[in-house]
Structure 1
Amino acid sequence: MEEIILDNKPKLIKWLSSDSELFLQYVQAKKLITMSQYSELMDMTAKERVIIRLLDIILGRGENVCRKFLDLLKEDDVNEISPELREWIKTVDTKDQKTETDCKRRKSGDRPIQETANMTRHSGIQVIDQKPDRDYQQRPIQDCQMFLKKNFSLLVQNVKNIDPIIDDLVDLHPESAANVRAKSTDQEKMRKLLGCVNCESIAKDLVIALYKHEKHLMNEMQNNY
């Protein structure tokens, strides 16, 4: 899906720029971008720059988000922005072939080899890594807030890739996200971010984002949890 967007990026910029503000509303409604990213895009004045930045954000969020973005373009209310877009998107196959294959295996009673190889169980935590490129699936930790609290020091000392993690926290208040980004060091950012985790839903989103961007560290902590 990323290659499809990248290969057709100039065309998408041309097609979507005709009504970039309306298109952003659809993108936000599908939660393909965070509130801070939405605010950033709405502050931009040049329509083409808005779409260029939007496509870069989508591409940076991985295969699953790219697929959802292309599925959005298939909706009639969306692709009426451009006749060329409407004709082109009809030719794009967004079906997840891996998911379809796994579903067939499950119906027949078989478990995918990769899933079996990467399944770990420890102290009630189960994580499945089915990650082709940047895609992954995770079974939730039973108490994400407790997990983060117990690993507070390790997270503050070791997490270095803070901004992409913040981008994935769609339920984090924009003001809180801005306060985290304003900190000057990674340690200060992570300490501030953990301080913003005031409910289980945000804690769960943060754990998922950490598994995505700090997989090795999270696996280490999981094994010792």
Structure 2
Amino acid sequence: MAATGKIRQNKTAIQEKLSDDHVLILNKVFENGLITKREYKNLKSIQGENVERHVVELVDKIMNKGEDTCQKFLDLLQTDEDIKSTYPELRDILWPNTSLSTPVQASSSEHSDAPSQEKRRKEDEQYQLKSQPTGLCVIINNEKFKYMKQRLGTDKDAESLAKVFSWLGFRVLMCEDQTMDQMDQALKCFASLSDLSQLQKFGVKEWSENRFTDLQESPPSLKHGDAFICCILSHGMSGVVSGTDGDPEVGGIEGKHLFIRDIRRTFKATNQSALTGKPKVFLIQACQAPQGVKRLPKHRGVPSKDLQADGSHPTYIPEEADILVAMATVDDFVAHRNIISGSWFIQSVCEQLDWGCQRGDDITTILHRVNMDVSEKEGGARPGEVKQMSEFTSRLRKRLVLTPQQK
């Protein structure tokens, strides 16, 4: 029986026995890397509940992390001497016909290399994020415009993004109120990191000690790491994001708008790029309404008709590989932003990253939840009157799992 199924089948009995000393099992699970430091603190800080509640929350969290973590949990219960002596009844529940001295992973000699093969397979299927910091997160935060309304509430989005990506181990940098040309030059500079002296003219700030400050180190210290995140918060029209000098009456470059396709191509794989083969994620909060439309179209809602249903890599990679673009809204529609609490899309992204990254979910799973969350929001006086549908397109070749930074 699979590890997840075994825990589920015996869940009530496991929780009852582990409640004999909930502090021990919590510490053991944390020491063996089955939960993050953030999860450990959250579980340990549960107040006003009986002892069993701590264990229930812990076992649920282990099961939510998937088969591999469940198997490691069972291994721990069977092999750790402190656990065996503290909870002797677990033997009769989980391994009635197995000696506890026999390692769970023991196998015949013909399969002795199975664990290493499994590890290699997983490494091939998932981006390896081992650098410190994990990578750069660049935020372009446009609030004040020459020809368009001020984007009140965008600072809330920038702050939420900085908090969550700093927590995920990224070095977070921000450029504010950039013209189209400045956006283009800044992105090219961040893509290559070849002429870092240019960054000074973009007024780059860095997230440090829970606020944006001047750069903590000189620009030459910047390194790409193993992943790149780009967040653009601005006005926009169909297929473009606007610089602060953008003209809503004129489209394209002539109207001082930067094509999203050109932003993406700035980071395409080349022989020289340090980001080749590494994941690059773009989060774009900008309307995508058609140019020249006076009355901006909004999504309308319809009754749900959901149906119930039963439930070796190539040597070369395409130039456009390893890129994911997530948009606040689909083409031809507006994106909603609260002037106090921030935008529907960015706030949902940050909330879902906070929750999903603790579970070990990959980025596409998390963004599917964002799509669902945004689609359920209401912006009008009547249900279905004002809606929004976010979207993402992925060219990632592997699973991208962002992990909270251990502190």
Q: Which has the higher strand share?
A: 2
CA contact (8 A) 1:127 1:140 kept: yes
Contact 1:2 1:63 in 2 (8 A): yes
* Change beyond 3 A, Cα 1:218–1:47: farther
Cα distance between partner residues in 2 of 1:184 and 1:47: 40
User: In the alignment, what sits opposite 2:8?
Assistant: 6
Q: Partners in 2 of 1:19 and 1:88 — Cα distance?
A: 17
Specify whether residues 188 and 222 from structure 1 end up closer, same or farther in structure 2 by C-alpha distance, changes over 3 A only. Answer: farther
User: 1:174 maps to what in 2?
Assistant: none
Q: 1:58 to 1:193 in 2, by over 3 A?
A: closer
Is this contact kept in 2: 1:157–1:187, CA < 8 A? Answer: no
| Deviation at residue 214 of structure 1 after TM alignment | 5.7
Q: Does 1:78 align with 2:237?
A: no
Aligned residues: 166
2:167 pairs with 1:157 = no
1:32–1:58 Cα contact (<8 Å) kept: yes
User: If the length of structure 2 is used for normalisation, what is the TM-score?
Assistant: 0.33
User: Higher helix fraction: Structure 1 or Structure 2?
Assistant: 1
Determine the C-alpha separation between the residues in 2 that align with 1:96 and 1:61.
23
2:61 maps to which residue?
A: 57
1:46 CA drift (Å): 1.4
Contact 2:10 2:94 in 1 (8 A): no
Q: Is the 8 A contact 1:156 1:190 kept in 2?
A: no
SS in 1 for 2:228: helix
Instruction: Write the deviation string for residues 17-65 of structure 1: whole angstroms up to 9, x where unpaired.
Output: 0100121111110121122221222122311111111111000000000
2:365 to 204, 209, 213: 213
1:140 maps to what in 2?
128
- Worse overlay, 83-92 or 2-11: 83-92
Taking structure 1 as the reference length, what is the TM-score of the superposition? Answer: 0.54
Can you give the 5+ residue segments of structure 2 that lack an aligned partner in the other structure? 136-223, 230-266, 268-279, 284-323, 329-340, 369-391, 399-407
Which deviates further from its counterpart, 143-152 or 77-86? Answer: 143-152
Higher relative contact order (CA 8 A, sep 6+): 1
User: SS of 2:326's equivalent?
Assistant: helix
Match of 2:21 among 19, 22, 36: 19
Residue equivalent to 2:124: 128
Contact 1:41/1:53 (<8 A) preserved: yes
Residue 185 of structure 1 and its aligned partner are, at CA, apart by 4.7
**Equivalent residue number for residue 103 of structure 1:** 113
Q: Give percent identity, aligned residues only.
A: 25
Partner amino acid for 1:187?
Answer: I
The structure with the larger Rg is 2
| 2: CA distance, partners of 1:68 / 1:186 | 36
1:12 CA drift (Å): 0.5
Amino acid at match of 1:103: D
- CA distance in structure 1 between the aligned counterparts of 2:129 and 2:41, rounded to whole angstroms: 32
Distance 2:128 2:106 in 1: 23
**C-alpha RMSD of the superposition:** 4.6
Give the one of 13, 19, 42 matched to 1:40. Answer: 42
SS in 2 for 1:80: helix
